[in-house]
Amino acid sequence: MLWHSLGLEDVFKQLESGRKGLSFGLAKQRLKQFGKNEIRLERKISPLKIFAEQFKSVLVLVLLAASFVSFVVSLFPGYEDNLINAILIFVIVIANGVFGFFQEFKAEKSLEALKKMSPNKAIVLRNGQKQVVDAVELVPGDVVFLEAGELVPADARVFQARNLHLDESLLTGESMPVSKRTKVLPQQTNLAERINMVFKNSVVTSGTGLAMVTETGLKTEVGKIAESLHGPGQKATPFQVELDRLGKRIGFLVVIVVAFVALNQLFFLNVDGSFANRLVIVFLTAVSLAVAAIPEGLPAVVTWSLGLGTRRMAKNNALVRKLASVEGLGDVDVICTDKTATLTENRMTVTRIFSNGKTVNVTGTGHDLDGNFLLGKIKIPASEFEPILRAGALCNDSEISFDEDNNKIFVGDPTEIAFLVSARKAGFSEKRILLSMPRINEIPFESEKKRMVTVHDAGNGKQVVFMKGAPEIVLEHCSKILLQGKEVKLCKKNVDEILEKNKFFASQALRVLGFAYKKEKKGGKKFEEELVFLGLQAMIDPPRKEVKASISECKSAGIRVVMLTGDNIVTAKSIAEQLGIKGKALDGNKVHKLTDEQLSFAVEETGIFARVSPDAKLQVLKALQANGHVVAMTGDGVNDAPALHAADVGVSMGLRGTDVAREASDIILLDDNFSTIVLAVKEGRTIFDNIRKFVNYLMTCNLAEVLVVFLLSFGGFIALFPAQLLWINLLTDGPPALAIGIDPGNKDIMKRKPKKKNEGVINKRLAYLIAGIGVWMTILLIGVFFIGFSFGGIVLAQTMLFTGFILYEFVRIVVIRQQEHIGLFENKWLVYAVGFSLFLQLLLLYTPLSSLFSLVQLSLFPITQLEIFFWSVLLGGVAIGWIGAFVITKLVVSATPTQN
């Protein structure tokens, strides 16, 4: 039902109600018919569901399969060691799941704590009497009272309004309070322009009114948006998609390699016994190799890195609801952001005053009570502008007070608060002035009249009248103007100058109001005649101080910022210009009229979308995604929720955001600060870099393990036993790999473009590095094996190969850090981890534990020829390995400069 297009009597008839509201009996009957006036959000915190979500990754499923196969193999005689392998992989996977569960469960609990309840009570007319009822019990046909400072409890049609203004920015994106009236509107009137309607969860900023409830619960505008988010399940982030893709590739490659090695060993391995015995040994060796080839540490490192990033972001006031969303921010190349309260203060601020023939700038933003009055760059005394500042403070219904903790509280219309603040900057307290000049009469502001008048007792039988309103309207009631402190006749030249100044201020997206006054004998009733014009005060909702630098940093990082706002195009362009947002400006009403092809082209050229409806926001977002962009959407209002839900990464506001918006988002900015998102992007990129470093390190070493076992099997050698492969993976995939996840970000991380949308963890450069250095390690290690074999036989060869793998993998860490321009000692935890792993390896070599792994035990005292030979070959190989890996890295990096 288009309630805004019906006359009041038709509304009453349709709802079978009237100006005295419903009867108690009919209200109860309708409550059963329509249900409670509440919006039950879709998501409930289910610990079991959150825990199960941790095990949906393809890579995790591959690891669980490997753990199961290892357990089955451990049941064969002589292969009991595989039980340790099975248990270790299972523990790693479960620990990873538990860690991820606690991170996400904590975020969900934090979100619950953030939720703000809808109004608990509502004042209604029942049986023609005022009643206070629970807001959830409101039904269509109820008459509700609207008062300043209250939340609107349901969608309703206004039938009585006295200076009634509402803040609807959370629903429509319009930053200024909307004046409400009772007149009938055309059917096609946009939501933001339905001035005869009030909507659930909007805030009454001033005035009073009566309205008849038309919709409740999910039928309200807020409810419709909440319900639209109910359909699709939880979306996968780009990073989750990439991890699954990587898991499938690794699983496929492992199957191919293991099958190839198994067939090779079946025909070439020199094993005594029957063909069946050979078949069992080949199968068991192949399984061990498969376990060695799978990077079981990857899920743990990913979760560890994301978890650490989440904690760092929490310190910077960003609550992460889904771990993978952190990395997803690192892929973002377009940020679509709301303007009001996200880019701006959401606090109207007087920035220009035209009075006494002078135009001055006023410093200070928002509710800061400190500021100066500048004529050019020269500070001038505020006393020159006392009359207009006094008028702004007294012709005003807002108030500045203090709570019990002595924090300032600003109550009232944002425009009127701005006038109080500008007066306070000059040292004028409206409260002190009111004590000497109490208000004795008033004419409230009405949209039709576009002015407000207050009358004050000046003592000695005198009264002072103040008027504020649209400049052209105020001028109509003036016969004089105050110039140089004197009242002179208002001439056409004065009027033209004032209107020209008004036009100039308006062109800068400033909201301008004119002021006038007069002194007269107390008791006079002609308040609006023969006034003295005082001047203009011009204001704007100013940009947040830190946002311009953040947008500049986004540009350096290859991220385009697009503004989508419900404000008019002039204001949007002005704010965009101040913040450095580039691109054309487009009225949101035109978005629906564009074809898909036209919109696809328009979103690439446009940086400002004004007067945007929720549907238009979604259209713009989907057009950007269709063009191949990874898009983050920031917002706080109900109107932002569909786009937040559909975005690759949805970022909502914690302080001012609605529950619906928070539920639709992946990340919540607890301080509502756009600049926090830049820190989050940096964190996301750092995490991805660390994961890529880990994959680089681990896959290179795993490739070498597979190739060494495979190639040596051609000669009939068992290069390494399953327990030895497990130990290598434990020392290299364990503490060192986790420590890589703590690596600091590259200093230039925000000076490079985002990676391409279809670029995986393993890109062309990384594939070349893994293959080149993996083959180089294979050659060195096979050489070490045969040198050891020629000196002391197969057991010494296996011992040297076993130790060589661990040493050379740590050399790989050094080369990676050189490639990334990160100092060797910048990450102290990595130094400790490598040191700890080396200590465990030496403990194994120099104690009887070596026999458990079928190794040669080395002697610390005395040092024999064996130890000298052993370490000379390995350390010489380390030096040669480092030089070779360094050269290969240089060649690959120079051949793939764009990292794709």
Question: Which of 669, 608, 640, 565 lies closest to 176, judged by CA?
Answer: 565
Residue 397 annotated to the active site: no
Q: Which two tokens stand for residue 109?
A: 């609990």
Strand spans (E) along 343-438: 349-355, 358-362, 373-375, 378-379, 399-402, 408-411
d(CA 131, CA 474) in angstroms, rounded, equals: 41
DSSP symbol at 566 = S
3-state secondary structure at position 540: strand
Alpha helices in 580-613 (DSSP H): 596-605
225 sits in the region (left: phi over 0; alpha: psi -120 to 50; else beta) called: alpha
d(CA 74, CA 85) in angstroms, rounded, equals: 9
Question: Which of 328, 295, 331, 337 lies closest to 309, judged by CA?
Answer: 328
DSSP symbol at 357 = T
Question: Which of 825, 788, 811, 829 lies closest to 880, judged by CA?
Answer: 811
Question: Are residues 441 and 464 in contact, defined by beta-carbon separation less than 8 angstroms?
Answer: no
**Judging by beta carbons within 10 Å of its beta carbon (0-12, 13-18, 19+), is residue 213 exposed, middle or buried?**
buried
Q: Considering Cα of 476, then 477, then 480, then 483, what sign does the dihedral take?
A: negative
d(CA 831, CA 13) in angstroms, rounded, equals: 79
Q: Which two tokens stand for residue 644?
A: 């937040």
d(CA 212, CA 142) in angstroms, rounded, equals: 6
3-state secondary structure at position 88: helix
Q: Which two tokens stand for residue 406?
A: 């002595």
d(CA 330, CA 223) in angstroms, rounded, equals: 33
Catalytic-role residue among 333, 338, 640, 743: 338
Q: Which two tokens stand for residue 4?
A: 């805004």
Question: Are residues 849 and 843 in contact, defined by beta-carbon separation less than 8 angstroms?
Answer: yes
Q: Which residues are catalytic?
A: 338
